[in-house]
Structure 1
Amino acid sequence: MAATAIINAQVYQDSTGDFSRQTILLEDGYISDILPPTVDLDLPESSIMDAEGLYLTPGLIDTCSQIGLKEVGIRWEGHDGYEPDWEDGFDFNVIDGIYPFDKAFQDAAAFGVTTAHIVSSPESVVGAKTAVIHTTGKTVDEMAVVPSFGFSFSMGDVPKNAYWEKTKTPLTRMGIALRIRTALKKLQSLGALEDVPVFIRSHRADDIATAFRIAGEFKLQFVLVHGTEYPLAWNLPTGDVSFSVVAGPVFQAMERGELRHLNPSLYYALYSGQIPFTFATDHPVSSVTHLQKEGALALKAGVPEQVILNGLTRDAAKLLKIDHLTGRVDKGLFADLVLWNEHPLELTARAVRTFIKGKEVYRWE
């Protein structure tokens, strides 16, 4: 692939939170160099892209999504998020259920989302092995960044309701906790938990406390997903549990009792408590197109711009252990980049061009 240069863009600096004018060279899918804006380029004019007046960031990363696993506008035929009659969900891999032609992938590119962490639907108490993928490609193998990543579990009213309809256990929070412990014991006996992150979906304060209890028992690399009522459980005993939070989405309908405390103030509570966190849409719970909006809501709640932009990019890549591949504008990383017509945390900002591995996958006409 011939080299391409993006000139005159205001490029995001993750170390300072500032934007500064730079020249970015793309070659063979990677950022091959970062140069001063005044440098003379030995490239044909057709290979130089003038981004005057535009902001450039790494592609956004959705750290919990069901994109391609639960298709937009499709009924049960497009829902491949869980197996209701199978106890050991960790036997499955979400990579085997992703449909690469789900329209939501086009929407993701159009709103600057270049990477997504695919997690089983919340109906699964014991979910499938998660995967990290790019949001473009004709086969899931082409899209896969990490085809088999972490283990996922789910607590609360959604799995309770799913099993209630099947008239099978677990029907209580006690039963759900037992099912999770049983699965973790089996994984531990197989040596499958070593250096592997465990994601637990919890909204309510009591479920969050139980998730921490279980994480402490098994000494997990624990990631709390959603954490809606975490501020209510502020003084819960976390012990020696090292954890981070995949927070949100807060932009969704409060259609269940567990969501009654849903509020963007969650982001400020995590920030002020010095809890590492990233952002998620859990598409299609909230559309993948709303990931940037989650950042804007966090800004309105009082979280600094740098914390938000890093949470959407660099820190998300660290959580998913792909920061050696993407998440920053840096030499040698994938050219997963987005050009914005305004500062990316403005509610009116939109993606003008989106690149994944140096290939333009979206252009605002």
Structure 2
Amino acid sequence: MLCIKNGLIHDAVNREAYKGDILVENGKISAIGRDISVTEGTEIIDAEGLQVYPGFVEAHCHLGLDNYACGFEGDDYNEMTDIICPQLHGCDGIYPQDPTLKMAAEGGVTCVATGPGSANVLGGTFVAIKTVGKRVDKMIVKDPIAMKCAFGENPKRCYCDKSCSCRMDIASKLRETLKRARDYMERKEMAGEDISKRPVYDPKLEALIPVLKKEIPLKAHAHRADDIFSAIRVAKECDVRLTLEHVTDGSLIAEELAEENYPVAVGPTFGHATKLELINKSFETPGILAKAGCQVSIITDSPVIPQQYLALCAGFAVQSGMDEFDALKAITINPARHIGVDNRVGSLEVGKDADIVIADGSPLISTTRIVKVLIDGNII
């Protein structure tokens, strides 16, 4: 048992922070309040003069799949031989011993959605993991959480001399595969227990059944406005759930995105516009989308931006006009909702995992020092 005493609590639920205690039992938050009494032997963390936050959550990255200082050998986040590979599982490529996971945890990032890159129209499933552990199976919060798909420059560039060279073909390939998967699913269901009537097993189509049953969404890599709307169009045509990733042109279409009401994850924003579809990237975008009424997450797309700087990206958004509470939510409860794990992480509430960051100021400011990080109630 552990109790954090007298900290200024920013729970990502209430706009105003409040002073109080947090009691942790068996890796969960069991109580939040003032002057919580504890039993003898309870470990006490004195947070007087310190600020207490939920562990930060990343809605979209490739942490553990694109390893630190490893070159080609450490690159496990894109399968470059097949533009349609939904059967791949992100968890099969994660290397828990990669130093970037420890860096992320020490930076207060306690839970991430990680998985395949954007080389392929369909790249495989994302998984939500904690950022500490020796074995990925024991780090998983939820698997799968989404099916990665990609629009725009990346599939075009990676397959222009093989099988795809224009945006029309990207959308066509996605539609075709989803419709083939629905036919496969319906035939399989109609066959019931009669094996002789079942369609021949197809791992690609099988992998898309959870998408068609709306158990997980498509996770659509889309920077440019037309790609964003193409993702929405295909999702509606095929009757599947959708989250929008990167959304670089979001400020140009904020009202339309608010009307559509799909979760948006914005970033990575720090650095050069390294390709044409990034020309409108700006730290103003998250604030503009939040003010329009969108559910906004801020992302690093690690390793594009090192994972430990997630909170600083939110700080840059605040400097560019985003409301500070909206920015906090964009790295805590909103990404937790975006990836479907808000029942466990993303806010400081009774019953949730004890993923907690204690700092000597706002983590959105570069001079702030993170004093302690807890994951599942353990000081890491």
Q: TM-score, normalised by structure 2?
A: 0.88
Question: How far is the alpha carbon of 1:216 from its aligned partner?
Answer: 2.1
1:141–1:179 CA distance, 2 compared to 1 (3 A): same
| Distance in 1 (alpha carbons) for counterparts of 2:150 and 2:331 | 23
Partner of 1:270: 289
Deviation digits for residues 8-57 of structure 1 (CA, Å, limit 9, x no counterpart): 11111333222211111112111122231x3443333x711111111111
Asked whether the equivalents of residues 113 and 126 of structure 2 are also in contact (C-alpha less than 8 Å), the reply is: yes
Equivalent positions of 1:187-336 (< 5 A) are 187-189=181-183, 190=185, 191-192=209-210, 193-195=212-214, 196-234=216-254, 241-336=260-355
Partner of 2:59: 63
Within the candidate set 92, 96, 120, 1:124 is matched to: 120
Provide the secondary structure at the position in 1 that maps to 2:124: coil
| Distance in 2 (alpha carbons) for counterparts of 1:92 and 1:247 | 25
Asked whether the equivalents of residues 64 and 116 of structure 1 are also in contact (C-alpha less than 8 Å), the reply is: yes
**Larger mean Cα displacement after TM superposition, 185-194 or 102-111:** 185-194
In structure 2, list runs of 5 or more residues that go unmatched: 186-208
Moved over 6 A (4+): none
Partner of 1:114: 110
Provide the secondary structure at the position in 1 that maps to 2:122: coil
Within the candidate set 180, 185, 194, 1:186 is matched to: 180
1:187–1:288 CA distance, 2 compared to 1 (3 A): farther
| Distance in 1 (alpha carbons) for counterparts of 2:255 and 2:20 | 45
1:320–1:235 CA distance, 2 compared to 1 (3 A): closer
| Distance in 2 (alpha carbons) for counterparts of 1:263 and 1:304 | 16
Partner of 1:136: 132
Question: How far is the alpha carbon of 1:82 from its aligned partner?
Answer: 1.9
The amino acid of 2:349's aligned partner reads: D
Partner of 1:350: 369
Question: How far is the alpha carbon of 1:337 from its aligned partner?
Answer: 0.6
Matched, 1:174 2:175: no
**Larger mean Cα displacement after TM superposition, 298-307 or 67-76:** 298-307
Provide the secondary structure at the position in 1 that maps to 2:149: strand
Question: How far is the alpha carbon of 1:126 from its aligned partner?
Answer: 0.8
Question: How far is the alpha carbon of 1:277 from its aligned partner?
Answer: 1.3
Partner of 1:26: 24
Asked whether the equivalents of residues 62 and 115 of structure 2 are also in contact (C-alpha less than 8 Å), the reply is: yes
Provide the secondary structure at the position in 1 that maps to 2:281: coil
Question: How far is the alpha carbon of 1:147 from its aligned partner?
Answer: 2.1
Q: TM-score, normalised by structure 1?
A: 0.92
| Distance in 2 (alpha carbons) for counterparts of 1:304 and 1:327 | 18
Matched, 1:17 2:19: no
RMSD: 1.8
1:89–1:350 CA distance, 2 compared to 1 (3 A): farther
| Distance in 1 (alpha carbons) for counterparts of 2:178 and 2:367 | 45
The amino acid of 1:295's aligned partner reads: A
Asked whether the equivalents of residues 357 and 373 of structure 2 are also in contact (C-alpha less than 8 Å), the reply is: yes
Deviation digits for residues 269-325 of structure 1 (CA, Å, limit 9, x no counterpart): 201211111111110111102210121012112221221112211122122221111
Question: How far is the alpha carbon of 1:240 from its aligned partner?
Answer: 8.1
Partner of 2:77: 81
Provide the secondary structure at the position in 2 that maps to 1:129: strand
Question: How far is the alpha carbon of 1:345 from its aligned partner?
Answer: 2.1
| Distance in 2 (alpha carbons) for counterparts of 1:221 and 1:69 | 25
The amino acid of 2:162's aligned partner reads: K
The amino acid of 1:19's aligned partner reads: A
Asked whether the equivalents of residues 254 and 288 of structure 2 are also in contact (C-alpha less than 8 Å), the reply is: no
| Distance in 1 (alpha carbons) for counterparts of 2:180 and 2:330 | 33
Provide the secondary structure at the position in 1 that maps to 2:86: helix
1:20–1:292 CA distance, 2 compared to 1 (3 A): same
The number of residue pairs the alignment matches comes to 354
| Distance in 2 (alpha carbons) for counterparts of 1:239 and 1:217 | 20
Question: How far is the alpha carbon of 1:350 from its aligned partner?
Answer: 3.1
